[in-house]
Amino acid sequence: MIIVMEANTDQKHIDEVIKKIKSLGYSPHIIKGIERTIIGAVGDEREKTRLQSLESMSGVESVVPILKPHKLASRQVRTEGSTISVNKNVKVGAKEFIVMAGPCSVESEKQIVETAKAVKASGAKVLRGGAFKPRTSPYSFQGLEEEGLKLLALAREETGLPFVTEVMNPREVDLVAKYTDVIQIGARNVQNFSLLKEIGRLKKPILLKRGMMTTIQEFLMSAEYVMSEGNHQVILCERGIRTFETATRNTLDISCIPVLKNETHLPIIIDPSHATGHWQFINPMSKASAAAGADGLMIEVHIKPEESFSDGAQTLKPSKFDRLMKELRPFVEAAGKAL
């Protein structure tokens, strides 16, 4: 259920409604607009009729059932799109199209700092880099772990770019959160519900990647797990789904952009690197994503992709990334955003 408060209701009435929601055994989630406050009441669906009694309380305009299974992520709760603040200058979901760029994995100080400087010079607003790497083979490079986090923090200090990196294990959430600006949940962990609950208790933005065989509803329910714990700062990321096609690493689901814009208020960015698996296809898929209304991109960039420890085939050199950023502008502007 969502409880819609009257325009400009004073805080006393809002607090009374919150208290009543809690007394009925529900968890209140407050969403403040410019003039109006909406309170989501999340709990046992079988007892939701008890919430209808809130309509008689002072300051309450209406009590509306949420028909979607993803309650807090639904457009029914928040009709305008959410803006997620990475820091005071970077806001995902606002008018600016945000590009996150950097190497698949952090390998050395020289590699991450030089790459960070290059992507910033081309217009990237967030640095990406893996310190903990989930790999299909146990014999592949697994990442530098905390040393990688320290190098990302150094690159942030050198360039001013906030960074996003992945956490894989609930036991490592606090460690990663100590360093990073945005916590990424990778495709393989999109339905690791223990991990989703753990990061839901943080007060940091979460970048949630769609799983390889995850439906849009399942994707939004994973976001719901995070939000139900109190963290509403969720950025969705489409990175390609698994189909019968083998020409690309995955199949980029461009149609998910308008579908998600219709279903949820959460911002959506696209990862064309993992979606295609080939650097040659990143440029056209980035343009298509921008034109379809995405809020940003996540792109793999490395100073020497041919020497990359992982995913070199889908990684752009800084010169190619710079060209992409220049060519991307008219597509971003056509969709009503700025780069």
Q: Are residues 109 and 152 in the same domain?
A: yes
Which residues lie below 8 Å from residue 92, measured CB to CB, with a gap of 6+?
83, 84, 86, 98, 205, 235, 267, 269, 295, 296
> Would the CA dihedral through 241, 256, 1, 235 be positive or negative?
positive
Q: Are residues 89 and 58 in the same domain?
A: no
Report the number of distinct structural domains present in the chain.
2
The answer to whether the beta carbons of residues 254 and 83 sit under 8 Å apart is no
The pLDDT score that the predictor gives to residue 52 is 85
The pLDDT score that the predictor gives to residue 111 is 96
77 occurs within a structural domain: no
The answer to whether the beta carbons of residues 141 and 131 sit under 8 Å apart is no
Q: Are residues 328 and 212 in the same domain?
A: yes
Q: Are residues 56 and 171 in the same domain?
A: no
266 occurs within a structural domain: yes
Rounded to an integer, what distance in angstroms lies between the CA atom of residue 172 and that of residue 262? Answer: 34
Q: Is 214 helix (H, G, I), strand (E, B) or coil?
A: coil
Q: What is the pTM of this model?
A: 0.88
Q: Are residues 91 and 155 in the same domain?
A: yes
22 occurs within a structural domain: yes
Q: Are residues 8 and 47 in the same domain?
A: yes
The pLDDT score that the predictor gives to residue 51 is 86
Choosing from 18, 35, 64, the residue where a domain stops is 64
Range of the domain at 25: 2-64
Q: What is the pLDDT along the chain (339 residues), one digit of tens a residue?
A: 888 888 888 899 999 999 999 988 888 888 877 677 888 888 776 667 788 888 889 999 988 877 777 889 998 888 889 999 999 999 999 999 999 999 999 999 999 999 999 999 999 999 999 998 665 565 555 568 899 999 999 999 999 999 999 999 999 999 999 999 999 999 999 999 999 999 999 999 999 999 999 999 999 999 999 999 999 999 999 999 999 999 999 999 999 999 999 999 999 999 999 999 999 999 999 999 999 999 999 999 999 999 988 889 999 999 999 999 999 999 999 999 999
The radius of gyration of the chain from alpha carbons, rounded to an integer in Å, stands at 21
The pLDDT score that the predictor gives to residue 303 is 96
Q: Are residues 121 and 233 in the same domain?
A: yes
Neighbouring-strand partners of residue 327: none
Q: Is 286 helix (H, G, I), strand (E, B) or coil?
A: helix
Q: Which of 332, 266, 270 is nearest to 84 (CA)?
A: 266
Q: Are residues 142 and 243 in the same domain?
A: yes
Q: Are residues 178 and 95 in the same domain?
A: yes
255 occurs within a structural domain: yes
CA distance to 87, 139, 172, per residue, from 164 (Å): 12, 25, 15
41 occurs within a structural domain: yes
75 occurs within a structural domain: no
The pLDDT score that the predictor gives to residue 136 is 59
Domain CATH number, residue 255? 3.20.20.70
Domain CATH number, residue 45? 3.30.70.1140
Q: Are residues 38 and 96 in the same domain?
A: no
The pLDDT score that the predictor gives to residue 137 is 61
Q: Are residues 112 and 253 in the same domain?
A: yes
Q: Which two tokens stand for residue 175?
A: 């460690």
Q: Are residues 207 and 158 in the same domain?
A: yes
The pLDDT score that the predictor gives to residue 130 is 92
90 occurs within a structural domain: yes
Choosing from 36, 64, 92, the residue where a domain stops is 64
The pLDDT score that the predictor gives to residue 133 is 64
263 occurs within a structural domain: yes
